[in-house]
Amino acid sequence: MHVRLLKELRKDTFGKLGLALIAVFAISALIFPLIFRDPRSHSQVILKPPSSDHLLGTNDVGQDVWSRLVHGTRTSVLVAIGVGFLSTLISTLAGVSAGIIGGVYDKVVMRLVDALLVVPTIIILILVASYVNPGIWVLILLISLLNWQGGARIIRSQTLSLKERMHISAARTFGAGKWYIIFRHIIPDLIPILIVSFIHRARMAVFMEAGLAFIGIADPLMISWGMMIHHALKFYFLPVWKWWLLPPGIALSLLIISFVLLGYSLERIIEPRLLNA
Amino acid sequence: MLEISNLKVGYGGKIIIRDLDLRLDKGKILSVVGESGTGKTTLGLSIMGLINERAEKGIVQGKILLDGNDINRMSKEELRKLRWSRLSMVFQNVEDALNPLYSIFDQVKEPLLETTLNNEEAEGKTLNILEMVEFPIHRVKAYPHQLSMGEKQKALIAMAFIGDPEVVILDEPTSALDVISKDSITQLLKVLCKDRTALLITHDLSTAASLSDNMAVLYGGCIVELAPTSSLLSDPRHPYSRGLIRSYPDMDRAKDLQGIRGRAEFVESGCPFHPRCTQAIEICKEERPKLIMVSQLERRHSHPQQRPESSIQNRVSRYIACHRGGVIPLLEMRGLVKSFGKFRAVDSVDLTLFEGETLALVGESGAGKTTLAKTVIGLLEITDGKIYLEGKKIAENGTNLARENGFHRKVQMIFQNTRESISHRLNILEAVVEPLNIQGIGSEKDRLKAVKDVLEEAQLPSDDDFLNRYPHELSGGEAQRVVIARALILNPKLIIADEPTSSLDASVQAKLMKLLNNIQEDRGLSMLFITHNIALARKISDRIAVMQSGKIVEKGPSSRILASPLHPYTKGFINSASGLNHSKL
């Protein structure tokens, strides 16, 4: 199996689309908050529809919706990247070590994975979050700790299969030790899977963060799309709600869709048999 | 009886023979074999006392005792009397040895002029001897240029034997002849040499084999091995003797011919063979090994070494001049067991692999061949038994002793499924350099050079374009060569090749086998060659071991196993071997 992810991705419409959208979001998260006005400054101009002054109107305390949307992008993208990275790291550590070390250690880790797979993690998340009202970093940590199990299981089984591969046996006959094998062979061989896992975790994280904010148990000072939806819904009886509610809703959907598209096409590239079946 | 001790001969300041000790017994033929230029003819000439006369700065030191009288100290007159009557020689170079101006009859008669016989008696005796050597009597008056090679050779033999000498030196008596005349001359010499002391100098092993009782292998003016002819030929122990025998075309042996690496050159100090020897160590460069009886040597190296099959019957004396005691056993397995649960995949296997030889391990799939290989190289843990590498224990009874770096540098493996044994992520350069990276050998530049060298050795391009290619861009044969190059880069002593060609077509396979054979010749590599194809094993192996459900059921020299298999399984295996001649049922 020899794949060049980027090259293959360029041939794939869904993949291209997903990648382009994610790029747009990432760039806006990076640049726009520097350009547009402070999302926290409030004014007397409340609940206004879009105008030249306020591109997307204002909310109940006179904050600029566009500005809040743009800053919310930063939160979502940060959570996506943070959780994607952290949870993939945890699943790699757990999966590779379980696969290589085996024995009792492997059994313990795998039973923990089973337990986490059975428990509906969103409920644990809601319970914990409602106690601590997490800020963005704690939120990333929480979501990561509750979302590594699926990845760990896949990585472990891949590791088990990889370590019996001929080229790894060959490296052992050159005198390579465990660490060499793990870092020079097993992890590089896992990279395509790690990328897919990263994308899926990221998507999940965006959704979870928005969900927690939406039900109002995240840190109230955090600016995020979920929080915007949470607040906007309280004003559903006024005609202005659509200016306030729709932008974060659409942005959220687009970001999640772009992750889905990218994940889908990456999976297809890495394991073509998977989706043709 | 002729006894030579401490003989040192040289011309023009160059020493040809040094410290040579040899004893020739009456009624026995001793053959002296070796490549051209090793001093064989010089030895013959010095026994004849012909050296001082032939070359100006010639030196002959030491003793050559003919029944107690030192030929070396005799005056010219004494020597003249001795020659042809007690000591004679059949000269090499049939073309030049006869005077073109004399007829054969006159030349053969010539040695008799010195004797007291009158002319008639001499003529009668000449005719007699010519008849005896089956020289066509009606042609005795012919001149040398009118005769065929065989006839001239017969005339020379007649000349040598006419004086009824005690000691005969036969210098390449058959090398100029075709096989049929060779055979008749060999028979003739056998009869003529009876009850005489004979020294046969030849590079032709088959003549030596059929004529001589004992054989001395000469290299660089030293005897490197001396043993009864049959045991020396069937089980040569000195690396040079083995190389010599390997390069000799033999009807029984199917393995491709292999030469001896390098060429004969004059060596100032140390073992004369060390520049060409593949198992030379430091001491070989410094000290000349003494010719020692083998039993003494074996006591000195006390680790368990059983010689292959032939050792059982030969308890005869054998002398070897080698610091390492002859060809060393590189890999030894003693009672090797590998079990998975209750299933014994490898069951009490005893195998010895000598330096520079190919041992083919044949057997059907599931016989445990690959498991054996993986256990030896340490990919699987040993269950019971012992493994030695160069006499050092590397694994024992269930514990894999730590295989220090040295082990991986000495033993490498070529895997069954080549393409999978190269990581798809690595390009050729990265794949081939990996062993050096792991072992931490050399600088970046050295490594690149090493990679290019081994690729060249494996007959692959070594340009940047090729180095940047990926395994999936290679053909099966190329991929296999890359794997061979990678296995060679650590310069191992032993390669375990597990069905290296089973996925290749026959022509690619043939090229690869040739490559492996050449590499073996150059590097003195031992090979454990695992295959289910006995026809292939026959072409490349010195010895064959047949494996059936984890056990070695038969092992021995390839020619013996194939010609007369003893175990029923081997017989069946050989019968079902692939061939192109099977007529349709």
| B74-103 per-position pLDDT tens digit | 888 888 888 888 888 888 877 778 888 888
| Residue numbers of the domain that contains B91 | 2-212
Residue in A268, A204, A247, A230 with CA at minimum distance from that of residue A73: A247
pTM confidence score: 0.75
pLDDT band at residue A198, thresholds of 50, 70 and 90? very high
A72: which 2 tokens? Answer: 């919310």
Taking contacts as CB-CB distances below 8 angstroms, the residues of chain A near B470 are 2
Residues B205 and B339 in one domain: no
CB-based contact B425 A175, cutoff 8 Å: no
CB-based contact B408 A174, cutoff 8 Å: yes
Instruction: Please report, as a single letter, which amino acid is at residue B211.
Output: L
Mean pLDDT of chain A: 86
Taking contacts as CB-CB distances below 8 angstroms, the residues of chain A near B435 are 174-175
Q: Is B468 helix (H, G, I), strand (E, B) or coil?
A: coil
| From B127-131, B247-251, B377-381, the region with the lowest mean pLDDT | B247-251
Is residue B321 domain-resident?
no
Asked whether the predicted pLDDT for residue A206 surpasses 60, the reply is yes
What are the domain boundaries of chain A? Answer: 9-35+50-276
CB-based contact A2 B424, cutoff 8 Å: yes
| From B228-237, B283-292, B403-412, the region with the lowest mean pLDDT | B403-412
Among B189, B212, B235, where does a domain finish? B212
Sign of CA dihedral B127, B132, B136, B142: negative
Question: How much is the pLDDT for B581?
Answer: 66
Asked whether the predicted pLDDT for residue B522 surpasses 60, the reply is yes
Task: Return the residue of A nearest to B404 by Cα.
Answer: A175
Q: What is the mean pLDDT of residues B555-582?
A: 82
Q: What is the mean pLDDT of residues B346-358?
A: 88
| Strand-strand pairing, B543-548 and B384-389 | unpaired
Q: Which of A172, A175, A188 sits opposite B439 (nearest CB)?
A: A175
Sign of CA dihedral B47, B52, B53, B57: positive
CA distance B5 to B19: 7
Orientation of helix A65-101 relative to helix A149-163, angle to 10°: 40
User: What contacts 24+ positions apart, CB below 8 Å, involve B579-582?
Assistant: B579/B535
Count: domains in chain B: 2
Q: Phi/psi zone of residue B484: left (φ > 0), alpha (ψ -120 to 50 degrees), beta? A: alpha
| From A35-49, A107-121, B403-417, B461-475, the region with the lowest mean pLDDT | A35-49
Taking contacts as CB-CB distances below 8 angstroms, the residues of chain A near B374 are 169
Asked whether the predicted pLDDT for residue A269 surpasses 70, the reply is yes
pLDDT band at residue B419, thresholds of 50, 70 and 90? confident
For residue B396, give the CATH number of its domain: 3.40.50.300
pLDDT band at residue B496, thresholds of 50, 70 and 90? very high
**Sheet containing B494-498: which strands, arranged edge to edge?**
B411-414, B494-498, B526-531, B358-362, B543-548, B551-557
Asked whether the predicted pLDDT for residue B516 surpasses 90, the reply is no
Range list of H helices, A102-120: 103-118
Question: How much is the pLDDT for B295?
Answer: 58
d(CA A187, nearest CA chain B) in Å: 12
CA distance B550 to B258: 32
Residues B33 and B164 in one domain: yes
How confident is the model over A53-69, as pLDDT tens digits?
777 777 777 788 888 88
What's the farthest any 2 CA atoms get from each other in chain A?
A: 75
Q: What is the mean pLDDT of residues B357-382?
A: 88
Question: How much is the pLDDT for A98?
Answer: 93
Taking contacts as CB-CB distances below 8 angstroms, the residues of chain B near A188 are 425
**With a cut of 0.90, is the ipTM above it?**
no
CA distance B584 to B570: 23
Residues B337 and B208 in one domain: no
**Exposed/middle/buried for residue B409 (C-beta within 10 Å: 0-12, 13-18, 19+):** middle
Instruction: Please report, as a single letter, which amino acid is at residue B517.
Output: N
pLDDT band at residue A277, thresholds of 50, 70 and 90? very low
Q: What is the mean pLDDT of residues B554-582?
A: 82
CB B271 within 8 A of CB B295: no
CA distance A40 to A63: 6
* Alpha carbon A197 to chain centroid, angstroms: 10
User: What contacts 24+ positions apart, CB below 8 Å, involve B576-584?
Assistant: B577/B533, B577/B534, B577/B535, B578/B533, B578/B535, B579/B535
CB-based contact A2 B377, cutoff 8 Å: no
Among B212, B235, B269, where does a domain finish? B212
Contact with chain A for residue B497, Cβ under 8 A:
no
Is residue B543 domain-resident?
yes
Taking contacts as CB-CB distances below 8 angstroms, the residues of chain A near B413 are 170, 173
Q: What is the dotted CATH code of the domain comprising A9-35+50-276?
A: 1.10.3720.10
Q: What is the mean pLDDT of residues B205-232?
A: 88
Range list of H helices, B48-148: 51-54, 76-82, 94-97, 104-109, 119-132
Question: How much is the pLDDT for B308?
Answer: 43
Asked whether the predicted pLDDT for residue B55 surpasses 80, the reply is no
| From B161-175, B315-329, B416-430, the region with the lowest mean pLDDT | B315-329
CB-based contact B421 A167, cutoff 8 Å: yes
Is residue B82 domain-resident?
yes
Asked whether the predicted pLDDT for residue B188 surpasses 70, the reply is yes
CA distance B86 to B165: 4
Q: Is B337 helix (H, G, I), strand (E, B) or coil?
A: strand
Question: How much is the pLDDT for A65?
Answer: 83
Is residue B511 domain-resident?
yes
The residue with greater pLDDT, A266 or B266, is A266
Asked whether the predicted pLDDT for residue B304 surpasses 60, the reply is no
The residue with greater pLDDT, B583 or B46, is B46
CA distance B550 to B532: 14
Question: How much is the pLDDT for B309?
Answer: 41
B231: which 2 tokens? Answer: 């045991």
Contact with chain B for residue A178, Cβ under 8 A:
no
Pick among A169, A173, A194 to test the B interface (most B CBs inside 10 A):
A173
Is residue B7 domain-resident?
yes
Pick among B371, B407, B423, B474 to test the A interface (most A CBs inside 10 A):
B423
Contact with chain B for residue A166, Cβ under 8 A:
yes
Q: Which of B407, B425, B434 sits opposite A188 (nearest CB)?
A: B425
* Alpha carbon B294 to chain centroid, angstroms: 18
Question: How much is the pLDDT for B386?
Answer: 86
Residues 412-451 of B with CB under 8 A from A: 412-413, 415, 417, 420-425, 434-435, 438-439
pLDDT band at residue B296, thresholds of 50, 70 and 90? very low
Asked whether the predicted pLDDT for residue B243 surpasses 50, the reply is yes
The residue with greater pLDDT, B442 or A44, is B442
CA distance A140 to A83: 5
CB-based contact A188 B434, cutoff 8 Å: no
CA distances from A109 to A92, A94, B299 (A): 12, 7, 57
CA distances from B356 to B323, B333, B458 (A): 17, 17, 18
CB-based contact A175 B421, cutoff 8 Å: no
CB A62 within 8 A of CB A46: yes
**Exposed/middle/buried for residue B425 (C-beta within 10 Å: 0-12, 13-18, 19+):** middle
Contact with chain A for residue B500, Cβ under 8 A:
no
Mean pLDDT of chain B: 82
Contact with chain A for residue B193, Cβ under 8 A:
no
Task: Give the whole-number percent of chain A exceeding pLDDT 90.
Answer: 32
Q: Which of B377, B405, B471 sits opposite A173 (nearest CB)?
A: B377
**Exposed/middle/buried for residue A68 (C-beta within 10 Å: 0-12, 13-18, 19+):** buried
- Residue matched to tokens 């053969």: B108
Q: Which residues of A261-270 are buried (b: 16+ CB within 10 A; e: fewer)?
A: bbbbbbbbbb
Asked whether the predicted pLDDT for residue B361 surpasses 90, the reply is yes
How confident is the model over A92-151, as pLDDT tens digits?
999 999 998 888 999 999 999 999 999 888 889 899 988 888 888 999 999 999 999 989
Contact with chain A for residue B477, Cβ under 8 A:
no
Residues B205 and B337 in one domain: no
CB A175 within 8 A of CB B414: no
Taking contacts as CB-CB distances below 8 angstroms, the residues of chain B near A170 are 413, 415, 421-422, 486
Among B185, B212, B239, where does a domain finish? B212
